[in-house]
A and B are shown apart, each in its own frame.
Chain A
Amino acid sequence: MSPETIALLIAGGILVGTVAFALYSVRRIKMDPQQYIVGGRSFGALFLWLLLAGEVYTSFTFLGAAGWAYGKGAPAFYILAYGTIGYTIGYFYLPHVWRIGKERGLLTSPDFFQARYGSKVLTKSVAVLQFVLIIPYVTLQLSGVQIILSIAGYGHYNATVAVAVAFALIVIFTFTAGLHGAAWASIVKDALVLGAVAFAGIVLPLHFFGSFGTMFDHVLAASPHWLTLRTGAAPQGMNWFISTVLLTSIGFYMGPHSIAAVYAARDGDTIRRNAIFLPLYQLVLLLVFIAGFTALVVTPGLKGPAVDQSFLLVVQQYYPAWVMGVIAGAGCLAALLPASAQLLGASSVFAHNVLGEARWTRYFVIVIAIGAFFMWLNWNQTLVDLLLLYYNGITQFMPAFIFGIFWKRANAWAVGSGILAGEIVAFYLWHHSIDLAGINPGFLALLVNVAVCVAVALMQRHRQAQEIAVPAR
C-alpha cells in the first residue's frame, strides 16, 4: 500500500471509531434540550475535566502553537501563560455562573444576560454577536483539519474534499449525540493527543539532536533572539505579550460552548476542582513548542500560513506512514471535537435566544455547519491570527459576567453600552491595523468597555438592580 493510503486509512479509522464509541455511549439518553445542550447538568469532576480539556485544547494547540514557535519564537509562550491565568479567574466566578444557571434553568450564555439584566434587546444582541464571533473559531478548526489531511495524504489527495467528508461526519455526530457525545469522544481524543504530542515533543528532538539543550543551541545559532521577547512597543514585544495574556485569560471561558460546559457541571465544587487540575494539561503545550522548535531546525524555510505545518512535515518526511496516520487521526479529533462543541454552542444560542425555540438547536447545527464550511473556503489566515480575532470580540462579554455577579448596580444599559463600545473599538483598531505601543487592540477595547460600563452604571443612580444578582457568600 502507498503511504498516503495507510496514513489516511488509519486517520479515518480513528475518526470513525471515536464517533462510534461516543454514539454507543449515549444511546440510552433521551435528547431533550436540557440533555442535548447542557448534558442534563450531570457531569462530575472527571467527566467535566475531559469535556473541557476536549474543548480547550484544539487543533490550535496542536498546530498553531507549534506554528508560532516555528514562525515567531518566544511570542508563542503567551499561549502557555494565558490558559493558566484563565483557570484562576474561572475558579472565582464560574461557580456563580453555574449556580445562577441551575436556579434559573439556563441553557446558554445569553440566558445569563436575560436572567441577570432582564432585557430582551440586550439578550438578543448578545446572542447575535456571540453567534457571529464563534464562526471564525469553527473555520479555524477546519483549517487545522485541512493542514493535517493534506500532509497525511502526501500531496496526492484533494484535501478540501477530505475536510468536507470529515466535517460532515462530525456534524452528523453532533446532531445525534449533543454535549454528552462531545464529552465521551473527548476521552479518546485527549488520550490520543497526549500520545501524539509526547511523540512530537520528546521523541522528535531526542532523535534528531540527542538532547533538548542541543536542539535549543541549534535554534539560537540560527537566530540568537528567537527565544526571548523584544522589549516595549516592538511588534509582538513585551507590551503585546502582557496585554495579550491578560486579554485572552480574561476571555478564556467566554465562548458560548465553554459556558455550556460550565452549566453541565453537577455542582459548583466540581467547577472549582476542575479549575485546579485543568492547568496540569498545559504540560502538553510545552511539548508542542519543543516540536515546533525542532521542526524549525530540521525543516526550515516555511513562511506565512505554512508554518502551521511545522512538525507534521518532519513526521511525514522522516517517519513511517502509520505514525503519520495516528498523529493525523489525533490531530483531526483535536480539531473536530472542539468544532462540535462550538457548533453546538453557536446553534443553541441562535435557536434558543434569537429564534426562541431551544428544540431547533440540533437542526441548526447542520445549517450553521454548512455556512461555516462555505465561509472557510474563502478564508486564508494563520490559525493564531484567527484565534486572536475571536478573543478580541468574545472577551468584551466578560465585564457583564463579572459585574453581573459582583456588582449590584450593573444594569442592562451599562453593560450594553460597554459591550457596544468595546466591540466597536476592537473592530476599528483591528480593521485599520492601528498600533498603539504594541498593545493588543482587544485589550484596549476591553478597558474602554469597562470604563463605559462603570460610567453609565454610576450615572443611573435611580435604576433598581435586578434582584437575582449578588451571591451570598
Chain B
Amino acid sequence: MNALARFLLAVIPAIMLTFAVPLANRLEPRIFGFPFLLVWIFFWVLFAPVCLYGVYRLEGRK
C-alpha cells in the first residue's frame, strides 16, 4: 500500500506533464488571462514538489 502510494505520487505529475498534455492542449478556459495549456503545465510543476514531499514522508527517516 505504502509502496503503491509512493509510486503513484511520483508518477502522476510526470504523466500529467507528458502523455496527458494532448488533453490539455487548448487556450480555453483562460485562467487570470493565461492560456489553459500554460496553466496546466505550471500547475503540475508546482504540485510535483508537494507529491515528492509526500513520498519523502511515506519513506520515513533513513
Give the B-binding residues of A (Cβ under 8 A): 74, 77, 80-81, 84-85, 87-88, 91-92, 211-217, 220, 227-229, 231, 238, 241-242, 245-246, 249, 268-269, 272-273, 275-277, 279-280, 282-283, 286, 289
Are A220 and B18 in touch, CB under 8 angstroms?
no
Q: Count of B residues near A, CB < 8 Å? A: 31
Contact A273 to B33, CB < 8 A, known contacts A227-B27, A231-B22, A242-B19: no
Known: A85-B14, A216-B30. A238 touches B49 (CB 8 A): no
**Cα distance A214–B21 in the bound complex, in angstroms:** 25
* Contacting residue for A88 out of B34, B37, B48, B62, CB 8 A: B48
Report chain B residues within 8 Å CB of A231. Answer: 22, 25
- Secondary structure dominating the interface of A: helix
B residues within 8 A CB of A245? 17-18
Q: A84-B13, A238-B22, A279-B46 are known contacts; what are 19 more A-B pairs with Cβ within 8 Å?
A: A77-B38, A77-B41, A80-B45, A81-B44, A84-B44, A85-B14, A85-B18, A88-B13, A88-B51, A212-B32, A213-B30, A213-B34, A216-B34, A228-B37, A242-B18, A242-B19, A246-B18, A269-B62, A283-B46
18 pairs, CB–CB < 8 Å, chain A vs chain B: A77-B41, A81-B44, A87-B48, A87-B52, A88-B51, A91-B52, A213-B30, A214-B33, A216-B33, A220-B27, A227-B35, A227-B38, A228-B26, A229-B21, A238-B21, A245-B17, A279-B52, A283-B46
| Cβ contacts under 8 Å, A216 to chain B | 30, 33-35
Q: Enumerate chain B residues within 8 angstroms of A85, measured Cβ to Cβ.
A: 13-14, 17-18, 48
Given A242-B21, A245-B17: A279 and B49 interface contact (C-beta under 8 Å): yes
Q: List 9 A-B pairs, minimum CB-CB distance, nearest first.
A: A213-B33, A227-B35, A81-B17, A279-B49, A84-B45, A276-B52, A84-B48, A85-B14, A242-B18
Q: In the assembled complex, which residues on chain A have CB atoms less than 8 Å from the CB atom of B33?
A: 211-217
- Closest CB-CB distance, B7 to chain A, in whole Å? 10
Instruction: Decide: A275 and B52 in contact? CB cutoff 8 A.
Output: yes
Min CB gap B17→A, angstroms: 4
Whether the Cβ atoms of B27 and A276 lie closer than 8 Å is no
Closest to A232 in B: B22
CB distance from A277 to the nearest CB of B (A): 7
List, in ascending order, chain A residues with CB within 8 A of B34's CB: 212-213, 216
Contact present for B41 and A80 (CB under 8 Å): yes
**In whole angstroms, how far apart are the Cα atoms of A92 and B56 in the complex?**
10
Query: Within the assembled complex, what's the spacing in Å between the Cα atoms of A213 and B30?
Result: 8
CB proximity of B37 to chain A, nearest CB, Å: 6
Inter-subunit contact B37/A74 (CB<8 Å): yes
Complex CA distance for A215 and B38, rounded to whole angstroms: 14
Instruction: Write out the residue numbers on chain B whose beta carbons fall within 8 Å of the beta carbon of A286.
Output: 38, 42
Q: Residues of B contacting A212 with CB < 8 Å? A: 32-34
- Taking the closest CB of chain B, its distance from the CB of A178, in whole angstroms, is 30
**A217 to chain B: closest residue by CB:** B33
**Given A85-B18, A273-B56, is A80 in contact with B42 using a C-beta cutoff of 8 Å?**
yes
Of A81, A87, A214, the residue contacting B41 (CB under 8 A) is A81
Are B49 and A81 in contact, with the CB atoms below 8 A? no
Q: How far is the CB of A279 from chain B (nearest CB, A)?
A: 5
Cα A220 to Cα B28 with chains together (Å)? 12
B13: chain A residues at CB < 8 Å are 84-85, 88
Rounded to whole angstroms, the CA-CA distance of A91 and B35 in the bound complex is 31
A279 to B19, CA, bound (A): 20
Determine whether the beta carbon of A272 is less than 8 Å from that of B56: yes
Contact of A88 with B35 at beta-carbon distance under 8 Å, contacts A77-B41, A242-B18 already known: no
Q: Which residues of B contact A242 (CB under 8 A)?
A: 18-19, 21
B42 touches A91 (CB 8 A): no
Instruction: Give the docked Cα–Cα distance between A212 and B19 (Å).
Output: 28
Is B55's CB under 8 angstroms from A91's CB? yes
- Bound CA span A228–B26, Å: 6
Given contact pairs A220-B27, A273-B56, A84 touches B17 in the complex (Cβ within 8 A): yes
The residue on A at minimum CB distance from B42 is A286
**Pairwise interchain contact B41-A241, C-beta atoms closer than 8 A:** no
Closest CB-CB distance, A238 to chain B, in whole Å?
A: 5
Provide the residues of chain B in CB contact with A228, threshold 8 Å.
Answer: 25-27, 35, 37
